[in-house]
Amino acid sequence: MANRRFNWGIIGPGRIAHQFADGLSVIEDAALYAVASSRLERAKAFAEQHAGEKTYDSYETLVNDPQVDAIYIATPHRFHFDNAMLCLKAGKPVLCEKPLTVNAAEAQQLIETARANNVFLMEALWTRYLPIYQQVRQWLEAKAIGDLRLLVSTFGINVPKDKEERWLNPELAGGTLLDMGVYPIAVSQWVMGQMPQSFSATAYLGKTGVDELTAATLKYENGVISQFSSNFISDNANEFLIYGSTGHIRIHANYWAATQATLVAQATLGAQATPGANEQTLTVSKPFRGGGFEYQIEEAMRCIRAGRLESPGMSQAHTLANMELMDKIRAEIGLKYPFEK
């Protein structure tokens, strides 16, 4: 029997919410039911573009609509805590943009509230649900590159330098670590299945006081190291490389939105592989059905329909551990937001 249509609501129909709506559009048994914005005309324009049914000029009205099955939060990070708290207290399941919150204390409170109210809560770390990552997981589990040694990645994009925009604005929890650094931390955690034992970090803080470039080294047990950088001031290769004792895996650019990965290994890869002198190369493509968000949306729907309170793919414990690490990295690079003081 087909599932009843799943009604999504959106809080904060800005830039990234369009990618959510695109992902939603390829899911048969789900729809954009309602859009809430502080400016009704923005909600209306968004709903018109993406076939949304209802529009609201307040987030409260959205969370109190009994037809809404779950809410996607797409406001800047500074507001995630208040927005998610509003939803959770109203008993509405939440898929919240990354980072879940600005710091671990906020994340902890949200998780406790979700549990106390028996409501689903998930950080929208969409990368972990992309089909190519399943391929990478298979290679890792098959030990296709031997023992893990080193992870190397960059996430660098020249962003607009408008001080009011969320990227550089400390009042909106701007800075590259929370915005982009959350990806290499979450992907490293996904590869390693654990948190680092130690780290070092350095950053360039720009005129507004937020980190415009952060570079960090995470050290795991058995000496495995993940080196990453995130920055707003240069366009980078944006690949994620996983080096092992007998080969490496390259998650192609942009790795957080990847559809391709390449395995270079000493072991034989079978008929599909391109033969080299001592190693073989295999590139696999897994194109998206829509804009790429459809996989995390489907996962959230699966979990909510099954009565789960979180997704095993991006568990609340993983989110919390990452927030704790980002708190520590921020302490190391001297970045505290004005509203945290």
Ligand X SMILES: NC(=O)c1ccc[n+]([C@@H]2O[C@H](COP(=O)([O-])OP(=O)(O)OC[C@H]3O[C@@H](n4cnc5c(N)ncnc54)[C@H](OP(=O)(O)O)[C@@H]3O)[C@@H](O)[C@H]2O)c1
List binders of ligand X among 81-140 (CB under 6 A): 97-98, 124, 126
Asked if 38 interacts with ligand X (CB under 6 A), we say yes
Comparing CB distances to ligand X, the nearer of 78 and 248 is 78
List 55's β-bridge partners, or say none.
35
Asked if 75 interacts with ligand X (CB under 6 A), we say yes
Asked if 39 interacts with ligand X (CB under 6 A), we say yes
Asked if 299 interacts with ligand X (CB under 6 A), we say no
Residue whose CB is nearest to ligand X in the complex, by number: 14
Q: Which residues contact 296 (CB under 8 A, 6 or more apart)?
A: 23, 95, 122, 124, 125, 126, 128, 129, 314
- Binding-residue total with ligand X (CB under 6 A): 21
Q: Determine the Cα–Cα distance for residues 123 and 98; give it in Å rounded to an integer.
A: 6
List binders of ligand X among 170-229 (CB under 6 A): 172, 179
Binding span for ligand X by CB under 6 A among 33-41, 191-199, 206-214, 327-335: 33-41
Task: Please report how close the Cβ of residue 20 comes to ligand X at its closest, in angstroms.
Answer: 9
Comparing CB distances to ligand X, the nearer of 98 and 318 is 98
For the chain, what is the radius of gyration of the CA atoms?
20
Task: Please report how close the Cβ of residue 13 comes to ligand X at its closest, in angstroms.
Answer: 5
Exactly one of 50, 54, 77, 92 binds ligand X (CB under 6 A); that residue is 77
Comparing CB distances to ligand X, the nearer of 13 and 170 is 13
Asked if 42 interacts with ligand X (CB under 6 A), we say yes
Q: Beta-strand (E) ranges in the chain?
A: 6-11, 30-36, 54-56, 70-73, 94-97, 121-124, 148-156, 198-205, 211-219, 225-231, 240-244, 247-251, 260-265, 274-275, 280-285
Q: Determine the Cα–Cα distance for residues 82 and 71; give it in Å rounded to an integer.
A: 13
Q: Which residues contact 76 (CB under 8 A, 6 or more apart)?
A: 166, 172, 173
| Residue 31 contacts residue 53 (beta carbons within 8 Å) | yes
> Would you tell me which residues interact with ligand X (CB under 6 A)?
12-16, 37-39, 42, 74-77, 79, 97-98, 124, 126, 166, 172, 179
